[in-house]
Amino acid sequence: MNLFERIKYLLRPDDTSHVEALNFMKYIGPGLLVTIGFIDPGNWASNIAAGSEFGYRLLWIMTLSTLMLIILQHNIAHLGIATGLCLSEAATTHLNKFASRFILITAILASISTSLAEILGGAIALNMLFHIPIKAGSIIILAFVYFMLHTNSYRKIEKWIIGFVSVIGFSFLYELTLVDVNWTEAARCWVIPDIPGGSILLVMSVLGAVVMPHNLFLHSEIIQSRQWNLKDEKVIKRQLDFEFIDTLFSMIVGWGINSAIVILAAATFFANHITVEELQQAKMMLEPLLGKSATIVFAVALLFSGISSSITSGMAGGSIFAGIFNEPYDIKDRHSRTGVGISLILGVVIIFLISNPFQGLIISQMILSIQLPFTIFLQIYLTSSKKVMGKFVNKTYTKILLIIIGLIVTYLNIMLFMSFL
C-alpha cells in the first residue's frame, strides 16, 4: 500500500472512519520521540554554523537527510512491529557474536556522543538564562533527566516530549516572524545540492545530526509500545499504516524546525557577515538584531530541546545495551539502567574534559555520521532477511532505496576523511 492509499484508507468515509481516526490519534507519539532526537542541541550547533557561514546554501542537505530519514525510520519501525524485536535484540539474535557486539558497541559510543550533545545543549541554555556554569548546568540536566526516566512511565514521558516539540516549533515560528527571509533563495537551496569549499565537515555534521544511529535503535523499541497482537496479520498491517503516517508527519515537523534554524542563522548572521562559533554567541548577537524577547525564546527552546533529547538518548542507550543481552528496554531492569547510565554519565564526563563546547557539539554530530553506515547496513541485512521478517520482508524497491541511502552516507564519509588529508 503506497502513501496515498494509506492516507485514503485512514480517511475513508464509512461508518468506521471516525473509529480509525481516533485509533490513529492514539498512535501518534513514537515518531515525535524520534523527531526530538534530530532537533537536539547538536542539530542547533550544526544548523547555526551552516546558516551563519554559508547562508541558505546547505538547506538541501536538510531535505536530503530528512527524506532518507523517513525511509530509514519507517523501515526500522517495520522491523519492530513485524518481529517484536528492537534493532539491538535482532542483531544479537540473528548475527554472529563478533559482528553483533562490534556494531552494538559502536552504537553505544554513538549514543554517548549523542548524550554529550544533548546534555551540553541544555547546560548552555541554563547558562544563557541563569548564568549557571556549563559544568554545573550539565549536572543539573543529568539529574533532571535521570529523575524523569526513573519516575515516569513511558507514556507520560511521551506526552512531555510531545509538549517540548510543540514549544520548540512555536518558538521558531515566532523567531521567523522577526527576520527578513529571502524565501525564493531558500526554496531554491532546499532542492539544489551545493557543496561550497570548506563545507564538507558541516555537511557531514548536518547529516549526522538528522539521520542519527541511536534514533534507529530507539524507534524499533518504542514502536512496540503500540503493539497489540503480533499473531494477527490484520493488526500488524494496520499498525504499519498508522506508523507510516505518524513517521511521515513527525519527520516533516523535524524538517521544518531544522530548516527554520538554518534560515534564521542565514537571515541574521550570514546577512550581517557574522560567523557563529558558539551558541552563547548566537544569543548575544540575536539581541541587537531581533530584540531581547527573541533571545529568551531562543534559550528556552534550547533548554526544552536539551532536556527532551537527553531523555530519548538515554532510552536509546538503555535499549542498545539491553539488546546485547537479548532483552527489551525496561528501566526497572539492570541492563537497561546500565545502558542509560553509560550513555548519560559518560557524556557528562566528556563535557568536563572538553575546552570548546560549541566545537564539541559539531564533532559529536560528525561521530554519529561516521557510525551511521554500520547501523544502516545492519538494518538492511535484517529487514531484507525472510528468516527475520517472514512475509513482511523488504520488497525489492525498498531494498534498493535503502542500499542507495547507505552508499550516499558512506560516500560522504569518504569525502570527510579525504578533507582531512
- Closest by CA to 113, choosing from 410, 319, 368, 323, is 368
Instruction: Check residue 75 and give its pLDDT.
Output: 94
Q: Indicate the domain borders of the chain.
A: 3-419
**What is the identity of the amino acid at 115?**
S
For residue 208, the model assigns a pLDDT of: 64
Question: Which range among 94-108, 271-285, 361-375 has the greatest average pLDDT?
Answer: 94-108
pLDDT at 11: 46
If one compares 206 and 233, the residue with the highest pLDDT of the two is: 206
CA pair distance 296, 228, nearest whole angstrom: 43
pLDDT band at 276 (very low <50, low <70, confident <90, very high): confident
Q: Which set of grid coordinates corresponds to residue 224? A: 512496540
Per-residue model confidence (pLDDT) at position 181:
92
| Range of weakest confidence among 21-30, 91-100, 144-153, 159-168 | 21-30
Q: Which CATH class is domain 3-419?
A: mainly alpha
pLDDT of residue 7: 47
* Digit-coded pLDDT (tens) for 258-269: 899 899 999 988
Q: How many residues does the chain have?
A: 421
For the ranges 129-133, 275-279, 312-316, 372-376, the lowest mean pLDDT is seen at: 275-279
- Mean pLDDT value across residues 161-177: 81
Please give the single-letter amino acid code of residue 104.
L
If residue 147 lies in a helix (H) or strand (E), which one and from where to where?
A: helix 134-151
Query: What confidence score (pLDDT) does residue 397 get?
Result: 92
pLDDT for res 272:
87
Cell numbers 565537515 label which residue?
201
Taking residues 23-44, what's their average pLDDT?
A: 68
Per-residue pLDDT reduced to its tens digit, 385-419: 999 999 889 999 999 999 999 898 888 777 765 66
**Cα dihedral 204/199/121/171 (nearest 10):** -100
* Residues 42/118, Cβ–Cβ less than 8 Å: yes
- Note the pLDDT tens digit of each residue in 39-73: 777 777 788 889 999 999 999 999 998 998 899 99
Least confident of 258-267, 270-279, 304-313: 270-279
- The letter for the amino acid at 375 is T
Instruction: Give the residue among 178, 49, 37 at the shortest CA–CA distance from 115.
Output: 37
Q: CA 332, CA 330: separation in Å to the nearest integer? A: 5
Whether residue 106 is predicted with pLDDT greater than 80 in this model: the reply is: yes
pLDDT of residue 18: 44
Question: How high is the pLDDT of residue 3?
Answer: 45
Q: State the chain's mean pLDDT as an integer.
A: 83
Per-residue pLDDT at 6 exceeds 70: no
Does the pTM of the predicted model rise above 0.75?
yes
Task: Please say if the pLDDT value at position 277 is more than 60.
Answer: yes
Cβ(201)–Cβ(68) below 8 Å: no
Q: What is the pLDDT of residue 295?
A: 80
- Residue 113 pLDDT > 50: yes
